[in-house]
Amino acid sequence: MENHNENLLIQRNQSVAFQSLAANLKDKGVIFADIQTALKEHSDLVQRYYMKDAVQIDEHKLTALHTALMNGGVFVYVPKNVQIEEPLQAIFWQEDPETATFNHVIVVAEANSSLTYVENYISNNKSEHAVANIVTEVIAHDNATINFGCVDNFAAGTTVYVNRRGVAYRDARIEWNLGQMNDGNTVSENITHLIGDNSSSYAKTVSVGRGNQSQNYTAKIVHFGKQSEGFILQHGVMRESATTIFNGIGKIEQGATKSNAEQESRVLMLSKDARGDANPILLIDEDDVVAGHAASVGRVDPIQLYYLMSRGISQKEAERLIIHGFLAPVVREIPIKAVRDQLSEVIEGKVY
């Protein structure tokens, strides 16, 4: 993988294989460390955020199991008023299928700060069975902006539970750019709590399912603050015998006046055995709000295929064009170039 990023951490199985952070960021007090080191060197901060504001230990069995067996991850901390332009990137490589990945990631942006964080999960175990249980807590304090990107690329053998939770305080913004490209069975929750007034979140997901995998994605934004804005956008392509359920949930709590909850989910199925469901859900406990949803599930239009093929394009290539075209509206919306490029590459690999 070509990488000129100075702010990079590579974790192989449970150990850190490479780590670097630009000197000017260190000077400003930015922390970008593996979770074990952070626990030793910044124990106050880790304790302040670990399973506190975002995810609770006793939420359910998987979060409890996670807490008991946590064995890796990173801690990212950006002090007040520090703006970081260059992305911080973490690569988690599950090389040994015997090991389980119980990663915990914490990203904290203090008031008026901003950062872009990108993570990649990779494994190669097509047949050997492995598990991953990942909890990620993303905290944006007043007026902070967090741009979160990921490309998950676990192989077919890994069964994944991934929980990415955001908390946004006053005027804060969390933007999610999730490339959910695992080949194995996956349960993914991406929930954002808009606590502060005028906070916002834009949660984007693209996914390509193939083989026999079954997946369940929940994207949820909960509005507590007044004038909070939440937008969920998910596009998924299902090939072969893949099955995926996309839940989109916009929840507006009482008192979150003038809030706006929007969502759009689109699923394209490429074979008769593929299945996709989109469940748009709006739960509104306040009167003075705006909310909307759009959802569609459909198969490839045979007339569209005919048109493309009538120019000499093979069926495979025509499907490739249609898939890229279908995911383009989300991929194009991703502001982090590295994630866009990686995603296009992974999509390409999954289409052929």
Partner 1 sequence: MVSSTLEIKDLHVDIEGEKILKGVNLTVKGGEFHAVMGPNGTGKSTLASAIMGHPKYEVTQGEVLLDGENVLEMEIDERAKAGLFLAMQYPSEVSGVTTSDFLRSSINAHREEGDEISLMKFIKEMDDAMDYLEMDKNMSQRYLNEGFSGGEKKRNEILQLMMLKPQIAILDEIDSGLDIDALKIVSKGINKLRNDSFGCLIITHYQRLLDYITPDKVHVMMQGRIVKTGGPELAKRLEAEGYDWVKEELGIEDEIAEQKA
* CB proximity list for 51: less than 8 A, separation 6 or greater: 57, 63, 67, 135, 137
Residues in a beta bridge with 250: 221, 282
Minimum CB distance to partner 1 smaller for 325 or for 349: 325
**Contact present, 97 and 127 (Cβ < 8 Å):** no
Residues 284-303 within binding reach of partner 1 (CB under 8 A):
301-303
**Contact present, 160 and 182 (Cβ < 8 Å):** yes
Q: How far is the CB of 304 from partner 1 (least distance, A)?
A: 5
Residues 27-46 within binding reach of partner 1 (CB under 8 A):
none
Which among 82-90, 190-198, 317-325, 343-351 is the span making contact with partner 1, rule CB under 8 A? 317-325
Q: How far is the CB of 323 from partner 1 (least distance, A)?
A: 9
Residues 160-219 within binding reach of partner 1 (CB under 8 A):
none
Q: How far is the CB of 347 from partner 1 (least distance, A)?
A: 12
The verdict on 313 binding partner 1 (CB under 8 A) reads yes
Which among 29-37, 122-130, 195-203, 327-335 is the span making contact with partner 1, rule CB under 8 A? 327-335
* CB proximity list for 232: less than 8 A, separation 6 or greater: 203, 219, 220, 221, 248, 249, 250, 262, 263, 264, 265
Residue of 206, 201, 67, 191 whose CA lies nearest to 137: 191
Single residue of 39, 65, 282, 321 touching partner 1 by CB under 8 A: 321
Q: How many residues bind partner 1 (CB under 8 A)?
A: 24
The verdict on 310 binding partner 1 (CB under 8 A) reads yes
Q: How far is the CB of 217 from partner 1 (least distance, A)?
A: 21
The verdict on 64 binding partner 1 (CB under 8 A) reads no
Residue of 204, 137, 150 whose CA lies nearest to 182: 150
**Contact present, 94 and 71 (Cβ < 8 Å):** no
Helix 315-331 crosses helix 337-351 at what angle (to 10 degrees)? 160
Q: How far is the CB of 316 from partner 1 (least distance, A)?
A: 10
DSSP 171: T
Minimum CB distance to partner 1 smaller for 242 or for 323: 323
Single residue of 27, 58, 85, 312 touching partner 1 by CB under 8 A: 312
Separation between Cα atoms, residue 154 and residue 152, nearest integer Å? 6
**Contact residues: partner 1, CB under 8 A:** 301-304, 306-315, 317-318, 321-322, 324-329
